[in-house]
Structure 1
Amino acid sequence: MSMAGNLRKVTGLGKVGGLRTVARLTRRHPRVDLSHPARSPLGSAVVNCVTYKDGARVPGGSDLVDAVEQVRKRDDGFVWLGLHEPTDQEFAGLAELFDLHPLAVEDAVHAHQRPKLERYGETLFAVFKTVCYVEHQELTATSEVVDTGEIMVFIGRDFVITVRHGRHGSLGPLREELEADPRQLAKGPAAVLHAIADHVVDDYLTVTDAVQEDIDQVETDVFAENGARADPGRIYQLKRELLELKRAVVPLARPLLDLATRPIRVVDPEIQAYFRDVSDHLLRVTEQIAAFDELLNSILQAHLAQVTVAQNEDMRKITAWAAVIAVPTMVCGVYGMNFDHMPELHWRYGYGLVAGLTSVACLILYRGFRRHGWL
């Protein structure tokens, strides 16, 4: 099959009316959630395919191959192709058309990558981990707090390819925001890359704010009156979810630093200033996560200390009552020996006297333990 045939199979768009069909679907559902399993309004891995020139959409009726040919012939504008969880077969034609490196294609198709930035000739390949806060009525030892996905981005001189994995992180609203700012979009594919990075890091900030509320709730429960009875499993669960968030956030620092400082041919120097701003936001998130981790460690240690104190208090109460009960037990043990010659054994008031002395001794022990806080 020819290259054009492969791409038509990939996109599900025919030679005539392909981009017009996409545009019509986009207008009909301007903010449609393209999350799994409804992969895209086109019924394939393709979410959207649009050509931009001077920051504005270019209407047309050609398919992807023709759109790329027109952009390269004019040497102006770029094509933005969005995909959701494509297969190897679906991506094969795209790799040929845009001359994508096989290693980058493999990463984009199979996902499960760390955030990174790689250069393959004239093509830049970036991986972002997306995060989403999972709403829950009450935090338990098994609650899912953070859900992660991935966005892979290929950018060249005249194209942007975004590959999304996961149930969230739709780029539809982001595309609309960029189209509402033609001046920024006119700066080329690097502007799209910056917008995606900024969008991802903003989601990090939103998630960390939500996680902080969970941590505050756990902290309140631990330091409550009956904090020793709080479930420590919730603390461990928060630490596990925080670790997953950390794996998504921390490795992104180096790629953003490279985009902000190192000269890259497909990234305009003017755009690099925007990446520095995103890097600053990421640093704030990283510091928040580190602070959360330390705070959870402190909460866990405080909870363990409370449990130890509660156990010590219980042991003191048990010991005090055992001491009080030991007095009548001793007296009963002595008089239970059944000897004939026992003190006051045959005296009419002997039983009352012994019972009274036993009660007084128990009362003295009880008041002493109460005064020292054991009872």
Structure 2
Amino acid sequence: MLSARITAWTSASRDPEVRETDDPEAVVAALMDPDSLVWVDLLAPTASELTEVGAPLGLHALEIEDAIAPRERPKAAQHEDHATFVVYALTPRSDVARAIEVDERARRAPAGPDAAPDAAGAAAADAADALLDRVLEGQEAEASFGEALFAHTRVSGFVLPGGVLAVRSDDALTPDAVEAGWRGLGDARRLGPYGLVHGLLDVVVDGLFDATQFLDDRIEDLEEDLFDRSAHLEGFQRRAYALRKELVALRRAVLPLRDVHSALWRRRPEDAGAGGGAARLDALYADLLDHILRVTEWTESLRDMIATVFETHLSLQDQRLNEVMQRLAGWAAVVSVPTLATGWYGMNVPYPGQSSPLGLVLAVLTVVVPAATIWWALRRRGWL
């Protein structure tokens, strides 16, 4: 059954009217109403349900197919009388969101009466960081290790003369979160459909910023553990793998956004913002582009950081392996002299002074002194 939420701005009121319906004809009628600006939100419609809505609006079958394709790349395009776009919004998994909330609350916690300044907050922050590490390692997760830490909600849209038809793949991104992007815009009718699209994109980019900040903080924690010999190796590798996987998924959502922005705004129709809000839209989309460029550059730097962490980790592993080999070789050298001496005289060859106490002393010195000398020499060079 079709699940549609219609938000309409009319000339009679500055506040939007919100209603829900499962009738495709009501959705089409709302989008074709010349006296209102409409945002229609469809939650996970089937191909037939979206066709019932899209066909009367003149949407092509291929556009409808792309809007619900499970692995569609973020993109946007201008057509003769409408525009289309596909973006991905990131929302943290419930256990990740809980860990982030604990971490943020811990960093704001005041110190106790008997504690040094910020000691309580620092201790709580350390505990929260440990919780986040366990989430990354799959020990506290509600899903198994290796599954995505952030839900990727596909949001497809059709920008029509009378409003926007938006299609969400799931409810991880809520309508309330989308509507938050419209607050502070003033009279939405002056900005038109492209003002509503900006509100959505602003919410999407803010979510990408939050995800990038999360990965940045966790990669910094990895860097701190990199030279800590007491850090658990398997846990370190699990966290590094999870972060690298999340960063790859994040970059897939972020990198195409610049092209999406260009296709939607720089190639916009001439009547976009014709209600008197064109200058305001120019400023809003310029600010949005700045945010997109910032998060893109941030993910680039994180990619370099995680690559450096991996390379340094491998180098340290090689160094520690060399240290182990040095110690093994050193002890082998120490043991070789006594082995040679005892092995030689163990072949029924009498050692000097065999029948006297002095001979025993000489035999012991023959075994111990060279071994001790080799041990001292290797110890001095740092091999042991």
- Does TM-score exceed 0.5, indicating one fold? yes
- CA, structure 1 residues 298+61, in 2 after alignment: closer, same or farther (shift >3 Å)? closer
Residues 1:242 and 2:251 are matched in the alignment: no
1:3 matched residue in structure 2: none
Residue number among 39, 43, 53 corresponding to 1:84 in the alignment: 43
Work out the CA distance in 1 between the residues paired with 2:327 and 2:294: 49
Work out the CA distance in 1 between the residues paired with 2:174 and 2:27: 24
Work out the CA distance in 2 between the residues paired with 1:60 and 1:349: 107
Work out the CA distance in 1 between the residues paired with 2:363 and 2:60: 98
SS of match in other structure, 1:106: helix
Residues 1:345 and 2:354 are matched in the alignment: yes
Post-superposition offset of 1:237: 2.9
- 1:149-228 correspondence to structure 2 within 5 Å: 149-175=153-179, 178=182, 181-226=185-230
- CA, structure 1 residues 59+125, in 2 after alignment: closer, same or farther (shift >3 Å)? closer
1:374 matched residue in structure 2: 383
Residues 1:322 and 2:332 are matched in the alignment: yes
Q: Structure 1 unaligned segments of length 5 or more: list them.
A: 1-43
SS of match in other structure, 1:294: helix
Work out the CA distance in 2 between the residues paired with 1:91 and 1:332: 88
| Contact preservation (8 Å) 2:92, 2:150 | yes
Q: How many residues align?
A: 330
- CA, structure 1 residues 250+180, in 2 after alignment: closer, same or farther (shift >3 Å)? closer
SS of match in other structure, 1:225: coil
- 1:298-317 correspondence to structure 2 within 5 Å: 298-317=308-327
SS of match in other structure, 2:319: helix
Work out the CA distance in 1 between the residues paired with 2:183 and 2:60: 29
Post-superposition offset of 1:88: 2.0
The residue type equivalent to 2:56 in the other structure is L
Identity across the alignment (%): 25
SS of match in other structure, 2:337: helix
Work out the CA distance in 2 between the residues paired with 1:228 and 1:71: 57
1:115 matched residue in structure 2: 74
Work out the CA distance in 2 between the residues paired with 1:371 and 1:108: 70
Post-superposition offset of 1:276: 1.8
Work out the CA distance in 2 between the residues paired with 1:367 and 1:212: 47
Post-superposition offset of 1:283: 0.8
Residues 1:283 and 2:283 are matched in the alignment: no
Work out the CA distance in 2 between the residues paired with 1:238 and 1:110: 26
| Contact preservation (8 Å) 1:81, 1:162 | yes
The residue type equivalent to 2:37 in the other structure is F
Post-superposition offset of 1:185: 4.8
The residue type equivalent to 2:245 in the other structure is R
Q: Structure 2 unaligned segments of length 5 or more: list them.
A: 100-130, 139-144
The residue type equivalent to 1:49 in the other structure is I
| Contact preservation (8 Å) 1:320, 1:369 | yes
1:28 matched residue in structure 2: none
Q: TM-score normalised to the size of structure 2?
A: 0.78
Work out the CA distance in 2 between the residues paired with 1:120 and 1:283: 26
